[in-house]
Structure formats: C-alpha cells, structure tokens
Chains A and B, each alone.
Chain A
Amino acid sequence: MKTILDSTDMQMAIDKMAKEIVEEAGSLDSLVLVGIRTRGVPLAQRIAGRIRESKKKEVPVGTLDINLYRDDLSRLDYHPIIGKTEIPCPVDEKTVFLVDDVLYTGRTIRCAMDALFDLGRPDSIKLAVLVDREGRELPIQGDVVGIHHPAGRGENVKVNLAETDEKDEVIVE
C-alpha cells in the first residue's frame, strides 16, 4: 500500500481543480457541478465551497447515480442498490462539470453522460477528476485533473474522503 496524496496534497489538488473549473467554465452563471456517486459527491461539494470562497458565488451541486446506466449489469451477480439522483436545477443550456474521484476505463463517465442526456440537454459536459490513473477503454479524457498517476491493471487506486472514509488520502494497493 502506498499513499500518493496525503490530506494536505489533496487540499491543494482540490484548490487547483476549483480554479481550473472556473477558468474552463467561462461564465459561472451557467455552471453546474454534478458529483457521481459515491465519492464524486463530496468532491463536488468541496469544489463548490472553494468557488464560493474565491468568487463569492453559489454554484449548484447535483448528485448522479449511474448504476441504472451501467453496461455490465447483466454480468453482475445482483443488481446494485440504487442511490438517488438529484440535480437542483434543469441542466438545459448549462455547462455541466461531472466530478468523480478516479478516472480509469471511462465507462462510468459514459454512463454519467447518458444519464445527463436523459435529464436534459446541456450546452456542454466537462469532466473533473481527482486522480487520472490511465487505462482508458473509451475515448474520454478529463478536462480538469487533480493529479496523474499511471497505475497498473492489478493496482487499486483508492480515494478516501473525510466525509465517507474518515480521512483524506489517496492510496494505491
């Protein structure tokens, strides 16, 4: 087990991500952050917090459960328990920033995009991830990336967050 980000590193990475998201988004009025369950949700909230501090602006944060859109449902032993999808405003004509903890194969993001399209027609969808571990199986890239950490197939890159896992860290197992 190896720690690749500790709590302070993570703070810095999130700060950096928040800054870049503001730049990428252009207008803050049309920006919506949508966290992908589970750990994308607290990440999106933290980013929204940073933007609030720096820009004095409240950015809406939504929650997306992508399980209903997974392409591997028929391979699972049981269908997963579904969490709530809640986005506080219509996504039509918005710049939606999807937020997730780890970007790996890209399949989750594909699901998330499908899910978003069922909810409306955003002007653009962008992607922010804390860790890009490489190993993509689909043509999907992060627009805002906390850190790049190329990891092997057998490795598990795990993001722990204070909100869900008691402490902030990114580890590789």
Chain B
Amino acid sequence: MRLIIKNGHLIDPKNRRNGRFDLLIEEGKVRDILKAGHTVASADVIDAKGCIVSPGFIDLHVHLREPGYEYKETIRSGTLAAAAGGFTSVCCMANTNPVNDNASITEYILKKAKEEGTVNVFPIGALSRGLAGKELSPMGELKKAGCVGFSDDGKTVQNSRLMRLALEYAKTFDAPVISHAICSDLAHGGVMHEGFVATKLGLPGIPSAAEDIIISRDIRLAETTGARLHIAHLSTAEGVELVQKAKKKGIRVTAEATPHHFTLTDETVEAHPPGTAAKPSQDGASPYDTNTKIMPPLRSEKDRRAIVEGLATGVIDAIATDHAPHALVDKEIEFDSAAFGIVGLETALSLSLQLVEKKKLTMKKMVELLTINPARIVGLKKGGLEPGASADVVIFNPSLSCKIDPAKFYSKSKNTPFGGMKVKGVVKYTIVGGKVIYQV
C-alpha cells in the first residue's frame, strides 16, 4: 500500500523542509520525501496542488467528555471533529466523569479511542485525585497506562504545596504539569474579563491578576523544583511577560494559546463581529452570547496583541484549542449560569491562518505551533515527516474561502462564537498512520 502526495507545498519545521516536495507513504509510515516531479510506480496519488502539506496537527488541549458527558461529546465525535480540523493527535483532559485519575479510566479512554476514534488520543491524567486539589493522583500508574501529562484543567490547584508536590513528583516521569491558571478567590464568581465591558454589562469580572498570580506562583515552583511546567491557554499580556522572563532564566516552562484568545476580545461579549451573531438583536449586536463565556475569559485588545506577539516570538510555544463542547442545556441559559468554553477543533486552522494572512506569523511558524512544538511539550514522537515517522499528515488549502457553519461541525456540540464568520483555509485531507481518515 503506497500513497504519494504530489504537487503540494510541504512545510515540516521539524525537518526544516519548506517547499515543493512530494511525500511518499508506505505501510503507514513516511517512506521518502521526493523532489517534485518524480513518478512513483503503483502508488495511489493525492494531488495536493495549491495546498500545504504538513505534519498532522497536534492539540495539547481538548475535552472529549467521555466517559461521563457523552451528551456533549464522545471520543468518536470529538476525534472526527479533530480530523475535520486537520488534527491527527489530541491530548484529552482529565475532567471526565469519573475523572481520569487512575489507570482504569486511562485504559478505558485509550481502548475507546482505538475502537471508535479516528485520530491518535493521548490522555492527560489528573494532577490531584478527583480533581479535588487535595491529594496527588497516582502519576506513575497513569503514566504507565498512557498519560502524557498531568493537569487539573478546568480547576486550578489552589493549594501551593500540592502544586509543588505535583511538580516535584511529575519530574520523575518527565511529564509536564499543565497549569490552568486562575486564582479562584480573585475570580470570585466572575464570568468575563474585568474591565469596561464587564462594568457596562453588569457582569462580574475576572481580573487579569487572577491568572497572573497563579502563573507567577507556578513558574516560581517550577524553578524551585526544576520540573517541567506548561501553562495552558495563556490569555494575559502580563502572563506572556512572566513566561518570557522565566524562559530567559532557563526555567523549564512552556505555554500555549488558543485561537479564541488571539482572535477575540472582551468586546465580543457585548457585540459580535459583524455577521457572526447567531441571534442578532434589534441593534445588530448580540450581547450576552454564552458562546463568548470562556475560561480564561476573552481579554482586552492589549492582551490579545500580546498573545499574538508571544506566538510570533516563540514565548508561546503552541496553539491549542481548549476544545470544550457543551450542549444547549449548558449554554441556552443565563450568562451567569452558563458553562465556560467553546468548541475549537474545527475552527483552529482558519483562525490561525488569519494571523498568517495578517503577516503576524509565517506559515512555517504557524505549522510549528501546531505540530512539532506541541509534540515536544508532551514528549510525542510525532510532529515531523522524516522517513520512518508515522504518516500523520494534513493537507489544506490556505486560500480557499469558506464560512464557518456550526451546523456542519462533526463535534456533537455547536457552541462557538464564530458561526457565520467568513474565513480562509479548508482541510482537504487528514491522514493518520498512512490512512486517509478525512477528506473533503
């Protein structure tokens, strides 16, 4: 079984390739990278004309919701959504029900993923038992069962001693501790970024400081322990600064940012970008759309710019979606009561391409942020297309226009503020282990 991808523009930052190459795949692995124009006998051919051929994207941060919340998403629907978004590997967070804090849950997830999933699934184990923030989870057991990192994502470890223990202990397994950084005392019932918009809308705010305090603490603890710390969904300008300084000092810290944080600001809570409001009111705006309620919240324009800058300069290592599917019953309710989070797998590429179009990122940098960098953070032998590597590939046309249509999402949930938005970038093929699992 041979497959050749011809006429495309190959970008593979790990192997420093950026140009017209054909990719030959055999037995699920990359066999060779050929100068354009070669003919290969008896191979299936994919014509990638006008397209970028890249290592499959790797998402460090998704919620597959299974087990426990299958009404929001399942491993099957979530991995289909990933494939449609060009992702060939996803790391799924531990806040399932039951929580992924023991080997049997990890094994269950991996078994399900093998049976029903379409892309590679790498579980993140809970940092504390039951995500309760009190006792360490059995990291050794989790790691052995297949977890690639540890996090209480969705909750923050408020107890600094526990965080220190977690970092120290995780070091043994060379797995990163992923910090969802929000000081809950300061956030205190907040539902959006604290600032003028929250004041006007009368919504309780979450100050940036609530995030920065925990980032500072965790960086300091990473320095003390020498452990690997990864900051999830960085959203504040000060947070970017903190990570930058830490990196300069040689502290082992990495960070990710989400497409929504580098695209939208808190103003979206008051008024959608034109054309994207699902239910425009008489003024055209659609305030209080619960699909703008996200944790950490959509921040100010200053913060948004800092995130973009951080991605460009390498302070932020990866783009991750924080794909957080929620059903109508979680979202078609009061803003104060609605669940935090939006789906992201199927919009990440086109939103990232906006940064390329606006010349904030090069195409190569964008691919790096979506492939080799996240692979390294969780220690996956993926993210590159060298001979012998697993043939996880995405082929996308970066200039094809389309409109984001949540009704067409593969995800079970449609909670996105981007519906109706005109964007560019269409995934043509997603290939996992040499097998085409998604194609337009």
A–B contact at 8 Å CB threshold (below): no
Q: Which residues of B contact A (CB under 8 A)?
A: none
